Amino acid sequence: MERLWAPWRMEYIGQAREGEDEGCLFCEKPKEGDDEKALIVARSELSFAMLNRYPYNSGHLMVAPFRHVGELEEVEDDESLDMQRLMQRCVKALKEAMQPDGFNIGMNLGVVAGAGIPDHLHWHVVPRWNGDTNFMPVVGETKVLPELTAASYAKVRAAIGT
Ligand SMILES: [Zn+2]
């Protein structure tokens, strides 16, 4: 796939380099104390929602438990429920903020399945629009996004409330 203008990709690469010695992204980001900088759009009791710096599509966010856990079968019942409820809030907010036609929601367990951070599981919530399939390659090559992450953050954060 052709490389197109992709500022979010540079941001992501820079971020990854800075974060090399910092351990787990999903453990560190909530502790940084600056949710806007961390792209965290919402927190609940046991989990949080954060926009992906390297999104498959505009508004692509991830829902993860605060607890460092990588195996699905080790997630506690209250954490599962908390994440489900937070995902419902996210879907509602994304519908309001971005009017998508549908969603892909799923989890990649293990590096072989595409998990970038296999040790701390997280749900992907990806808004979809009719006709966006041409822009959403499964292999995750660089593509053009209609909206930058900062703009998505402001819209979703406003819609999701506290
Ligand atoms: Zn972690």
pLDDT of res. 14 = 42
- Identify which of 94, 87, 63, 86 has the alpha carbon closest to the alpha carbon of residue 159: 94
* Arithmetic mean of pLDDT, 110-123: 91
User: From the CA of 57, how far away is ligand 1's center (Å)?
Assistant: 24
The Cα 114–Cα 117 span in angstroms is: 9
- For the chain, the domains span 35-160
- Supply the mean pLDDT for the chain: 83
Q: What is the DSSP string of 119-159?
A: TS--EEEEEE-TTGGGG--TT------SS-HHHHHHHHHHH
pLDDT of res. 30 = 97
pLDDT for 122 beyond 70: yes
pLDDT for 141 beyond 60: no
pLDDT of res. 54 = 84
Q: What torsion do the CA atoms of 55, 27, 71, 11 make, to the nearest 10 degrees?
A: 20
User: From the CA of 69, how far away is ligand 1's center (Å)?
Assistant: 7
- CA torsion through residues 122, 127, 131, 135, sign: negative
Catalytic position from the list 60, 120, 122, 124? 122
User: From the CA of 119, how far away is ligand 1's center (Å)?
Assistant: 7
The Cα 72–Cα 84 span in angstroms is: 14
3-state secondary structure of 11: helix
Q: Which residue type, as a one-letter code, is found at position 129?
A: W
* Arithmetic mean of pLDDT, 28-39: 95
3-state secondary structure of 5: coil
This prediction's pTM: 0.79
Higher pLDDT, 56 or 127: 127
- Domain 35-160 fold is HIT family, subunit A (3.30.428)
The H helix count followed by the E strand count for the chain is 5, 5
pLDDT of res. 116 = 86
Enumerate the β-bridge partners of residue 96: none
Annotation marks residue 122 as catalytic:
yes
User: From the CA of 19, how far away is ligand 1's center (Å)?
Assistant: 13
- Identify which of 108, 147, 106, 149 has the alpha carbon closest to the alpha carbon of residue 129: 147
User: From the CA of 61, how far away is ligand 1's center (Å)?
Assistant: 17
* Arithmetic mean of pLDDT, 23-33: 95
